[in-house]
Amino acid sequence: MDIVQIVSLGLVAALLIVLLKEQHSSIAFLLLLLVVIIIFLSVLDQIRHIFSLLSYMAEQAQVDSVYFKTILKIIGIAYIAELGGQLIRDAGLNALASKVELAGKLFILMLAIPIVTAVIETILHFIPGQLG
């Protein structure tokens, strides 16, 4: 599915959702979920291609695989938390959406601590009289 088809699907779905929202809000929300899943599945091949390209670039740059995998996890968490937060917000539950996004940020922070620690240790090794 190319971008024109995805945008067309989104526009048609948006029109149907707006029409259904007043009378059948639960059906409108289910339609929204269905369209989001269809769009996600349609871009899955592009996502795989991006990950393989990033993996190849990390290999060529001799980046430690632990750091590379951590960065990919951070990116995944960011997208999942954002998507979940937006869907929950579309259901009219702004407070819950904010908490889901906060949880995503906390998971990102937790995963980033080893990378930040490694960067700080590397910087300190270049400063005379520090750590060695």
| Distance from C-alpha of 9 to C-alpha of 3, rounded to nearest angstrom | 10
pLDDT (mean) for 17-30: 91
Which whole number is the average pLDDT over 47-51?
91
Q: How many residues does the chain have?
A: 132
For CA atoms 44, 46, 48, 54, the dihedral sign is: negative
**Distance (Å, whole) CA 31 – CA 19:** 12
CA atoms of 124 and 48, how far apart (whole Å): 37
Stated pTM of the model = 0.76
pLDDT at 126 over 90: no
**Quick check: helix, strand or coil at residue 103?**
helix
Cα separation, 32 vs 27, in Å, equals: 9
Write down the pLDDT at residue 127.
Answer: 85
Tell me how far apart the alpha carbons of residues 76 and 104 are, in angstroms, rounded to a whole number. Answer: 10
- For 57-110, write each residue's pLDDT tens digit: 989 998 888 888 999 999 999 999 999 999 999 888 999 999 999 999 999 999
Report the C-alpha gap between 33 and 112 in whole angstroms. 31
Q: Looking at the predicted structure, is the pLDDT value of residue 130 above 70?
A: no
